[in-house]
Amino acid sequence: MVRIGIIGGSGIYDPAKFETVKKVYPETRYGRPSDDIIIGKIAGTEVAFLPRHGKEHQFPPHSVPYRANIQAMKDLGVEMIISPCAVGSLKEEYRPGDLVIVDQFIDFTKNREYTFFDKKTVHISIADPFCNDLAKVFSEIAEKMNIRYHKKGTYICIEGPRFSTKAESNMFRNFADIIGMTAVPECQLAREMGMCYCSLATVTDYDVWKDEPVDIQMVLKTMRECLSKITRLLELGLPKIPEKRTCGCSDAAKDAGV
């Protein structure tokens, strides 16, 4: 059984730092996950790593098998998920290359499978959707690394796979700090399963509100440049994660009878 899962976003596909033990590709009641789940160790800490979009980036944001991914992690014994991802900035002070430890989201998606509970009514509490304890661990590591980071940030999740129009981008600036395409429903599905969830978001661009067109090559270029920083953050942070959870993230699952 593996306690910690990593679901990687754009550019976080290099397992070179992993001490790989095995790969699994499990069948779940929601189908198979995006790709093989690599089980191994980072800095001596056992983790299960899954490329969210698949190794060939074959799943665009709106069609990622989110339920299968979270269910597969749950079946492996995962209790907490770390999500390195790429985001655009909606605020001047959130600069390209900055790390954002997300604390809130706004859901602007349109057509996804948002819950495991299709056959009974379950209302989970998700006022604070991201795990405060995990956020504290990685905030302290980022501080020690002396890198530019933000302890908090509101993430607006859009459907994709297209980027925003200028009008949309300027509207979103009134409500959020960063913008992406994958936090929802991944984060809330993890909460339904009683799992902790931490989003380590790397700012790759200023969306389109600064009149600079955004494309996937820009995103991947910045992520490649920041990959060593994210990898080091994981190497230093994973061993600091407490063995016993006291955060309360599992309470939603108890209420749901999971």
Catalytic residue set = 205, 207
**Burial zone of 257 (CB within 10 Å; 0-12 exposed, 13-18 middle, 19+ buried):** exposed
> Is the preceding omega at residue 161 within 30 degrees of 0, hence cis?
yes
**211 phi-psi bin (left φ>0, alpha ψ -120 to 50, beta other):** left
Which residues make Cβ contacts (< 8 Å) with residue 56, sequence separation at least 6?
Answer: none
Task: Give the span between the Cα atoms of 7 and 48, in whole angstroms.
Answer: 8
Which residues make Cβ contacts (< 8 Å) with residue 162, sequence separation at least 6?
Answer: none
Tell how many helices (H) and how many strands (E) occur in the chain: 6, 11
Per-position b or e across 21-59, b if 16+ CB within 10 A of its CB: eeeeeeebebeebbbbbbbbebeebebbbbbbbbeeeeb
Token pair belonging to 157: 């999740």
Residues in the chain: 258
Nearest to 228, CA basis, from 55, 58, 116, 99: 99
Helix, coil or strand: residue 149:
strand
